Amino acid sequence: MTIKTTPIPGLLIIEPRIFKDNRGCFFELFNDANFHENGIETGFIQDNVSHSVKNTIRGLHYQLAPYGQAKLVQVMKGRVLDVAVDLRENSPTFGQHYAIELSDENKLQFYIPKGFAHGFRALTEDVVFFYKCNAAYNKEAERGINFNDPDLAIDWKIPVGESIVSPKDEGLPSFEEAEKNFFFHEG
Protein backbone atom coordinates (compact mmCIF):
# COMPACT_ATOMS: atom_id res chain seq x y z
CA MET A 1 0.00 0.00 0.00
CA THR A 2 1.03 3.60 -0.50
CA ILE A 3 0.47 6.23 2.14
CA LYS A 4 -0.01 9.85 1.16
CA THR A 5 -0.11 12.74 3.57
CA THR A 6 -2.59 15.61 3.32
CA PRO A 7 -2.28 19.29 4.30
CA ILE A 8 -3.81 18.32 7.67
CA PRO A 9 -1.30 16.44 9.86
CA GLY A 10 -2.45 12.93 10.73
CA LEU A 11 -5.06 12.66 7.97
CA LEU A 12 -3.78 10.07 5.52
CA ILE A 13 -4.78 8.68 2.16
CA ILE A 14 -4.09 4.98 1.78
CA GLU A 15 -3.81 3.53 -1.69
CA PRO A 16 -3.97 -0.27 -1.68
CA ARG A 17 -1.86 -2.28 -4.11
CA ILE A 18 -4.25 -3.72 -6.67
CA PHE A 19 -3.40 -7.03 -8.35
CA LYS A 20 -5.31 -7.28 -11.62
CA ASP A 21 -5.64 -10.33 -13.84
CA ASN A 22 -8.12 -11.86 -16.26
CA ARG A 23 -10.44 -12.87 -13.38
CA GLY A 24 -10.70 -9.40 -11.94
CA CYS A 25 -8.59 -8.01 -9.16
CA PHE A 26 -7.36 -8.59 -5.62
CA PHE A 27 -6.27 -6.23 -2.91
CA GLU A 28 -5.75 -6.29 0.84
CA LEU A 29 -8.48 -4.31 2.54
CA PHE A 30 -6.54 -4.02 5.81
CA ASN A 31 -3.18 -5.36 6.94
CA ASP A 32 -2.35 -4.34 10.50
CA ALA A 33 1.41 -4.92 10.14
CA ASN A 34 1.64 -2.45 7.25
CA PHE A 35 0.03 0.27 9.34
CA HIS A 36 2.31 -0.44 12.31
CA GLU A 37 5.42 -0.35 10.10
CA ASN A 38 4.38 3.16 9.16
CA GLY A 39 3.66 4.22 12.74
CA ILE A 40 -0.08 4.54 12.25
CA GLU A 41 -2.28 3.81 15.26
CA THR A 42 -4.76 1.01 14.58
CA GLY A 43 -6.30 -1.16 17.31
CA PHE A 44 -9.53 -1.38 15.34
CA ILE A 45 -12.29 -3.08 17.29
CA GLN A 46 -15.48 -2.29 15.39
CA ASP A 47 -16.43 -2.47 11.70
CA ASN A 48 -19.46 -0.56 10.40
CA VAL A 49 -21.35 -0.52 7.13
CA SER A 50 -23.92 2.01 5.96
CA HIS A 51 -25.99 2.11 2.78
CA SER A 52 -26.99 5.54 1.51
CA VAL A 53 -29.14 6.85 -1.28
CA LYS A 54 -27.68 9.50 -3.59
CA ASN A 55 -27.15 12.92 -1.99
CA THR A 56 -27.40 11.63 1.55
CA ILE A 57 -25.10 13.56 3.83
CA ARG A 58 -24.08 11.83 7.08
CA GLY A 59 -22.14 13.82 9.66
CA LEU A 60 -20.25 15.60 10.85
CA HIS A 61 -19.74 13.15 13.72
CA TYR A 62 -17.24 12.57 16.51
CA GLN A 63 -17.17 11.09 20.01
CA LEU A 64 -16.01 12.88 23.14
CA ALA A 65 -12.79 11.78 24.84
CA PRO A 66 -12.00 9.27 26.17
CA TYR A 67 -14.27 7.66 23.56
CA GLY A 68 -12.68 9.28 20.48
CA GLN A 69 -12.39 6.99 17.46
CA ALA A 70 -9.74 6.73 14.78
CA LYS A 71 -11.46 5.58 11.58
CA LEU A 72 -10.31 3.89 8.42
CA VAL A 73 -13.02 4.61 5.86
CA GLN A 74 -13.66 3.37 2.33
CA VAL A 75 -16.36 2.83 -0.25
CA MET A 76 -17.34 -0.69 -1.30
CA LYS A 77 -19.94 0.46 -3.84
CA GLY A 78 -20.42 3.84 -5.49
CA ARG A 79 -18.72 7.15 -4.84
CA VAL A 80 -18.67 9.62 -1.95
CA LEU A 81 -17.25 12.99 -1.04
CA ASP A 82 -15.63 12.30 2.32
CA VAL A 83 -14.79 15.10 4.74
CA ALA A 84 -12.79 15.30 7.96
CA VAL A 85 -12.66 18.42 10.17
CA ASP A 86 -9.74 18.99 12.53
CA LEU A 87 -11.05 19.46 16.11
CA ARG A 88 -7.65 19.18 17.81
CA GLU A 89 -7.31 22.46 19.65
CA ASN A 90 -3.52 22.48 19.58
CA SER A 91 -3.34 21.66 15.90
CA PRO A 92 -2.10 24.28 13.41
CA THR A 93 -5.01 23.23 11.18
CA PHE A 94 -7.69 23.40 13.92
CA GLY A 95 -11.08 24.10 12.32
CA GLN A 96 -9.85 23.26 8.82
CA HIS A 97 -11.23 20.40 6.77
CA TYR A 98 -10.02 18.12 4.03
CA ALA A 99 -12.31 16.54 1.45
CA ILE A 100 -11.56 13.59 -0.78
CA GLU A 101 -13.51 11.52 -3.26
CA LEU A 102 -13.58 7.83 -2.35
CA SER A 103 -15.04 5.26 -4.69
CA ASP A 104 -15.18 1.59 -5.56
CA GLU A 105 -13.07 2.56 -8.59
CA ASN A 106 -10.22 4.48 -6.98
CA LYS A 107 -10.36 2.12 -3.94
CA LEU A 108 -8.77 4.81 -1.78
CA GLN A 109 -8.96 4.57 1.98
CA PHE A 110 -9.00 7.59 4.25
CA TYR A 111 -7.39 7.37 7.69
CA ILE A 112 -8.93 9.77 10.18
CA PRO A 113 -7.28 9.93 13.61
CA LYS A 114 -9.04 10.75 16.87
CA GLY A 115 -9.85 14.43 17.26
CA PHE A 116 -11.67 14.85 13.94
CA ALA A 117 -15.31 15.18 12.96
CA HIS A 118 -16.21 13.04 9.98
CA GLY A 119 -18.94 13.02 7.37
CA PHE A 120 -19.65 12.17 3.76
CA ARG A 121 -22.02 12.80 0.90
CA ALA A 122 -23.18 9.94 -1.32
CA LEU A 123 -22.47 10.97 -4.91
CA THR A 124 -24.15 7.90 -6.44
CA GLU A 125 -27.16 5.72 -5.70
CA ASP A 126 -26.88 2.91 -3.14
CA VAL A 127 -23.51 3.78 -1.69
CA VAL A 128 -22.07 1.05 0.50
CA PHE A 129 -19.68 2.65 2.97
CA PHE A 130 -17.40 0.54 5.16
CA TYR A 131 -15.25 1.73 8.03
CA LYS A 132 -13.20 0.45 10.92
CA CYS A 133 -13.12 2.20 14.30
CA ASN A 134 -10.57 1.77 17.10
CA ALA A 135 -13.06 2.58 19.86
CA ALA A 136 -16.60 1.37 20.31
CA TYR A 137 -19.71 3.35 19.52
CA ASN A 138 -20.82 5.25 22.61
CA LYS A 139 -24.24 6.82 22.36
CA GLU A 140 -23.69 9.18 25.31
CA ALA A 141 -20.38 10.41 23.90
CA GLU A 142 -21.55 10.94 20.30
CA ARG A 143 -21.55 14.55 19.15
CA GLY A 144 -21.69 16.38 15.87
CA ILE A 145 -21.32 19.63 13.99
CA ASN A 146 -23.74 20.88 11.39
CA PHE A 147 -22.50 19.89 7.93
CA ASN A 148 -23.80 23.17 6.58
CA ASP A 149 -22.06 25.50 9.02
CA PRO A 150 -20.97 28.55 6.99
CA ASP A 151 -17.85 28.91 9.15
CA LEU A 152 -16.63 25.52 7.97
CA ALA A 153 -17.56 26.38 4.37
CA ILE A 154 -17.50 22.80 3.15
CA ASP A 155 -18.30 22.55 -0.54
CA TRP A 156 -20.68 19.58 -0.67
CA LYS A 157 -21.16 20.30 -4.40
CA ILE A 158 -24.95 20.22 -4.11
CA PRO A 159 -27.61 22.79 -3.19
CA VAL A 160 -28.31 22.21 0.51
CA GLY A 161 -32.06 21.72 -0.07
CA GLU A 162 -31.32 18.67 -2.24
CA SER A 163 -29.44 16.76 0.43
CA ILE A 164 -30.97 13.95 2.47
CA VAL A 165 -30.07 14.34 6.13
CA SER A 166 -31.28 12.68 9.34
CA PRO A 167 -33.28 14.80 11.80
CA LYS A 168 -30.43 14.28 14.27
CA ASP A 169 -27.88 15.71 11.85
CA GLU A 170 -30.18 18.60 10.84
CA GLY A 171 -30.22 19.69 14.48
CA LEU A 172 -26.47 19.59 15.08
CA PRO A 173 -24.81 22.76 16.41
CA SER A 174 -22.40 25.04 14.59
CA PHE A 175 -18.65 24.59 14.95
CA GLU A 176 -18.56 27.65 17.23
CA GLU A 177 -21.28 26.25 19.45
CA ALA A 178 -19.72 22.77 19.54
CA GLU A 179 -16.27 24.25 20.21
CA LYS A 180 -17.32 25.16 23.74
CA ASN A 181 -17.10 21.45 24.51
CA PHE A 182 -13.99 20.53 22.52
CA PHE A 183 -11.86 20.64 25.68
CA PHE A 184 -12.31 16.91 26.12
CA HIS A 185 -10.69 16.11 22.81
CA GLU A 186 -7.44 14.22 22.51
CA GLY A 187 -5.01 15.32 19.84
Ligand X SMILES: Cc1cn([C@H]2C[C@H](O)[C@@H](COP(=O)(O)OP(=O)(O)O[C@H]3O[C@@H](C)C(=O)[C@@H](O)[C@H]3O)O2)c(=O)[nH]c1=O
What positions carry a catalytic annotation?
A: 61, 131
How would DSSP label each residue in 120-187? EEE-SSSEEEEEEESS---GGGEEE--TT-TTT----SS-GGG-B--HHHHTPPPHHHHHTTGGG---
Residues contributing to the site for ligand X (CB under 6 A): 48, 50, 58-59, 61, 118-120, 137, 166, 168
Compute the least distance from the CB of residue 161 to ligand X, in Å: 20
Contact 141, 64 (CB under 8 A): yes
The neighbour count for residue 121, using CB atoms within 10 Å, is: 27
Cis peptide before 64 (omega within 30 of 0): no
Q: Are strands 24-26 and 57-63 parallel, antiparallel or unpaired?
A: unpaired
